[in-house]
Amino acid sequence: MKLMLDGTTVVMATHAKDIVNKMKKRVIQIDKGVIIRDDKKGGYSVE
């Protein structure tokens, strides 16, 4: 992926689980302003 080769970071906020699961990149989950999950090769999950 060209963005990775350039060293570019993209931050995206979404609830679209198909996008999150396809990318399989770092996922940070926030609940009420508190980070509750930080996975380097994350996927979408609802707890």
What's the pLDDT tens digit per position in 20-43? Answer: 888 878 888 888 999 998 988 877
Reported as a pLDDT band with limits 50, 70 and 90, residue 2 is low
Q: What is the DSSP string of 8-41?
A: ---------HHHHHHH---EEEEETTEEEEEETT
How much is the pLDDT for 32? 93
Higher pLDDT, 10 or 36: 36
Helices (H), 1-47: 2-6, 17-23
Tell me the pTM. 0.59
Residue 4 has pLDDT above 90, yes or no: no
Domain ranges of the chain: 9-47
